[in-house]
């Protein structure tokens, strides 16, 4: 139970990982700025994404300014995307068969969407509810944590992705 509380605390404050005084990663909520910073970088989910109804490899690709493409072996679905605090995918069409439960006109709301950024590898993985993608190279990641690691700032290729811009 104690470790779950610690993980929840890390997620809630967007805390930094690492025990040497230097951060090496951060977990941040996915918002529009974050999606644009990782645009055109596919995130692969080997076991599918339950929220989409897929059980085989599925990939998610964000395209600016507010679009996403969800692809599986069956085909691809394009969607408009609304972010923060949750991820809402509204399917606008499919190429081939629509993946999983996605159908043109359907809307899928995922209540927890997170990016885990690793400064040392310049990679990120995407969490959509309980599904976690493989790591993907996203560009130059820089993380700066303030004293006691209670507040961190993260950038991807110079775009500030945490704290979110308002």
Domain count for the chain: 1
pLDDT classification of 163: cutoffs 50, 70, 90: confident
Residue 149: pLDDT band (50, 70, 90) is low
Q: Which residues contact 74 (CB under 8 A, 6 or more apart)?
A: 96, 97, 98, 99
Residue at token pair 């972010």: 83
Nearest residue to 91 via CA among 110, 111, 70: 70
Residue 130 pLDDT level (bands cut at 50, 70, 90): very high
Q: What pLDDT sits at residue 25?
A: 84
pLDDT at 128 over 90: yes
Q: Residue 19: is its pLDDT beyond 80? A: no
* pLDDT above 90: percentage of residues in the chain: 68
Chain centroid to CA 104: 23
Task: Concatenate the DSSP letters of all residues of 59-99 into one string.
Answer: EEEEETTTEEEEEETTEEEEEEEEESSSEEEEEEEEEESPP
pLDDT classification of 148: cutoffs 50, 70, 90:
low
Q: Which residue has the tokens 């400064």?
A: 119
The tokens of 132 are what? 């976690």
- For residue 37, the enclosing domain spans 2-162
């Amino acid at each position: 139970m104690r470790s779950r509380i610690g993980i929840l605390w890390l997620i809630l404050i967007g805390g930094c990982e690492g025990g040497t005084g230097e951060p090496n990663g951060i977990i941040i909520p996915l918002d529009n700025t974050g999606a644009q910073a990782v645009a055109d970088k596919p995130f692969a989910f080997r076991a599918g994404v339950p929220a989409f109804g897929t059980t085989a490899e599925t990939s998610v690709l964000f395209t600016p300014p507010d679009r996403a493409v969800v692809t599986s072996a069956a085909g691809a679905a394009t969607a408009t995307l609304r972010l923060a605090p949750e991820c809402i995918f509204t399917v606008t069409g499919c190429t081939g068969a629509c993946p999983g439960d996605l159908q043109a006109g359907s809307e899928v709301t995922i209540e927890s969407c997170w990016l885990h950024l690793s400064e040392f590898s310049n990679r990120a993985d995407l969490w959509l509810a309980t599904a976690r993608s493989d790591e993907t190279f996203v560009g130059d990641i820089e993380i700066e944590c303030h004293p006691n690691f209670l507040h961190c700032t993260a950038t991807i290729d110079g775009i500030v992705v945490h704290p979110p811009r308002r």
